[in-house]
Amino acid sequence: MTTSTVLTTTPRFIAPAHPLVGPDERAAVESVLRSGALAQGAEVAAFEAEFAEVVDGRECVAVNSGTSALHLGMLAAGIGLGDEVIVPSFTFAATANAVALCGATPVFADIDPETYCLDPAHVGSVITARTAAIMPVHLFGQPAPMAELVALGQRHGLAVFEDACQAHLATLDGTPAGAFGDVAAFSFYPTKNMTTGEGGMVVCADPVVARRVRLLRNQGMEKRYANELVGFNTRMTEMAAAMGRVQLRRLPGFTATRRHNAALLSEGLARVSAPVVRPGAAHVYHQFTVRAPERDRVVEALQADGIGVGVYYPTPVHRLPAYSEDLDLPVTAVAAAEVLSLPVHPALLPDEIDRIISATNSAIERLGR
Ligand SMILES: *Cc1c(COP(=O)(O)O)cnc(C)c1O
């Protein structure tokens, strides 16, 4: 092998996300497997009770995904045919899909250019007689402006839901994400700040809504074969819940590491602005998102350097074929064209953070200005 071959070899790939699953998760799952009780039972109940502690004691119902959590939470809160629910377009499609799956219409509103969360002023401008709810997304791990959005909801008699799928342990003025709205949804997909493989949690302010979520999760049954309504099977497995209980105990450590990594990236990046944190917000850095005008070329260069950079999200949801709405959301359009997310997950090694910083600085110097 010649020297030049060695030098042109792609450096070790730095993954965009890396779930940290260790011996404690394995032991917990194995103990469930040994017990033989595999579907929704004692582990799920314990996981729900423990998760409640991180959302101000609100009642929690575990389900099989974040999408199910959004869907069942809204159905249980009464969202249905003819209702409009205001959502951001700069989000993962599941936010809007959950609205559409209720038979309701997602109405897309624009975002704040610095935090990428819903802009309350624009939300106010798209409220109609049919608007039933507002669903902000705590995007990238930063809470949306909840005081303003909850006040807007109260003024217009609207429910407020939270897509908290990226915001485990994030807070705003001391209140945890998930404890602001009528219903909130978390995801435990492997790329999220904690994981159960697949899984989700519905957080309910009202125990009556929580009971309805429990029914919808299990074919409409509380008592076996006494179905009270038409429901789904969106139950969580005992293996997932056992894993979730361990991950929840590790979550404060994961979060501290994400914040530490974000601080190192912010300090080292010379030619892009670090993510803006709203006053009073505690960001949990599900993603570390920056922007560059020549974004696609910067992404290509970083990928060639073995950096697992991501683009969340390249197409606003209202422009996806599933929705294809002819709607002008200028702030969303610019964000979708310029954002890129650098690895920030807690599995990063110090030398990997250095590599991310130097590769990003040099790529942006060459291409992104
Ligand atoms: C991940 C995610 C979802 C969906 O969660 P799943 O567990 O993948 O179904 C919904 N909304 C947002 C903003 C997400 O990031």
Residue nearest to atom 7 of ligand 1 (CA): 66
Question: Which of 72, 168, 113 minimizes the C-alpha distance to 336?
Answer: 113
- Give the C-alpha distances (Å, rounded to integers) separating 101 from 59, 66, 73, 77: 24, 14, 12, 14
User: How far, in Å, from the CA of 192 to the mean position of ligand 1?
Assistant: 9
pLDDT digits (tens, 9 = 90+) for 150-209: 999 999 999 999 999 999 999 999 999 999 999 999 999 999 999 999 999 999 999 999
Nearest-atom index, ligand 1, CA of 137: 13
Mutate which of 165, 198, 287, 341 for ligand 1 pocket (most atoms within 8 A of beta carbon):
165
> What DSSP assignment string belongs to 172-238?
ETTEETTSSSSEEEEE--TTSSS--SS-EEEEESSHHHHHHHHHHHBTT-SSTT---S---B-PPBH
User: How far, in Å, from the CA of 66 to the mean position of ligand 1?
Assistant: 5
The angle that helices 350-367 and 295-304 make with each other, rounded to 10 degrees, is: 140
Name residues whose C-beta falls within 8 Å of residue 324's C-beta, 6 or more positions apart in sequence: 318
Token pair of 359 as six digits: 């590769």
Q: Is the dihedral of CA 322, 117, 169, 264 positive or negative?
A: positive
Give the integer Cα–Cα distance in Å for 281 and 87. Answer: 21
Give the integer Cα–Cα distance in Å for 157 and 129. Answer: 11
Give the integer Cα–Cα distance in Å for 309 and 290. Answer: 11
> What DSSP assignment string belongs to 260-298?
HHHHHHHHH-SSSPPPPPPTTEE---SSEEEE-TTHHHH
The length of the chain is: 369
Residue list, ligand 1 pocket, CB within 6 Å: 65-67, 91-92, 94-95, 137, 163, 165-166, 187, 189, 200
Mutate which of 63, 64, 67, 289 for ligand 1 pocket (most atoms within 8 A of beta carbon):
67
Mutate which of 64, 90, 166, 188 for ligand 1 pocket (most atoms within 8 A of beta carbon):
166
Residue nearest to atom 14 of ligand 1 (CA): 165
User: How far, in Å, from the CA of 164 to the mean position of ligand 1?
Assistant: 9
Q: Is the pTM of this model over 0.85?
A: yes
CB 353 within 8 A of CB 261: yes
Give the integer Cα–Cα distance in Å for 209 and 260. Answer: 38
pLDDT digits (tens, 9 = 90+) for 290-348: 999 899 999 999 999 999 999 999 999 999 999 999 999 999 999 999 999 999 999 99
pLDDT above 80: residue 11: no
Nearest-atom index, ligand 1, CA of 65: 7
**What is the radius of gyration, based on Cα positions, of the chain?**
21
Name residues whose C-beta falls within 8 Å of residue 198's C-beta, 6 or more positions apart in sequence: 64, 65, 188, 189, 240
pLDDT digits (tens, 9 = 90+) for 83-141: 999 999 999 999 999 999 999 999 999 999 999 999 999 999 999 999 999 999 999 99
Tell me, rounded to whole angstroms, the distance of Cα 224 from its chain centroid: 34
Give the integer Cα–Cα distance in Å for 261 and 265. Answer: 6
Type of residue found at 31: S
Give the integer Cα–Cα distance in Å for 369 and 363. Answer: 10
pLDDT digits (tens, 9 = 90+) for 196-246: 999 999 999 999 999 999 999 999 999 999 999 999 999 999 999 999 999
Of residues 261 and 365, the one with the higher pLDDT is 261
